[in-house]
């Protein structure tokens, strides 16, 4: 099997950096859609480390896991967008700060 010259640590670092970018996006941005995209970045960061672990440790569970993550992410997207559309019908905005009927 092909053994890459890029060490595992690099993949893990990439994944960690992407994950942190995702967290920062969720915490900093106020646009619902962008926050939503940042969450997807977090999930994909996880996928990178799952696949990297699999490749370097000769395992196989992680690949199945990453497929599950993708499936669930797709289901989550459909529900999430539906919620955003329902919300948009009642209040035409995507700014998180304007959703303040309930105290945060």
Q: Please give the full DSSP string across 4-68, using - where no structure is assigned.
A: -SS-HHHHHHHHHHHHHHHHHHHHH--BHHHHHHHHHHHHHHHHHHHHHHHHHHT-SHHHHHHHH
Residue 6 or 82 having the CB closest to another protein? 82
CB of 5 to another protein, least distance (A): 18
Which residues contribute to the site for another protein (CB under 8 A)? 1, 12, 19, 22-23, 26, 32, 35-36, 39, 42-43, 45-46, 49-50, 53-54, 57-65, 68-69, 72, 75-76, 79-80, 82-84, 86-87, 90-91, 96, 99, 101-104
Length of the chain: 104
């Amino acid at each position: 099997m092909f053994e890459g010259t890029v060490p595992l640590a690099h993949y893990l670092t990439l994944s960690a950096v992407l994950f942190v970018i995702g967290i920062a996006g969720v915490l900093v941005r106020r646009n619902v859609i962008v926050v939503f995209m940042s969450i997807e970045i977090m999930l994909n960061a996880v996928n990178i480390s799952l696949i990297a672990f699999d490749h370097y440790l000769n395992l196989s569970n992680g690949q199945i896991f990453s497929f599950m993550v993708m499936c669930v992410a797709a289901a989550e997207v459909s529900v999430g967008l539906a919620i955003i559309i329902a919300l948009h019908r009642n209040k035409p905005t995507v700014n998180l700060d304007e959703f303040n009927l309930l105290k945060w």
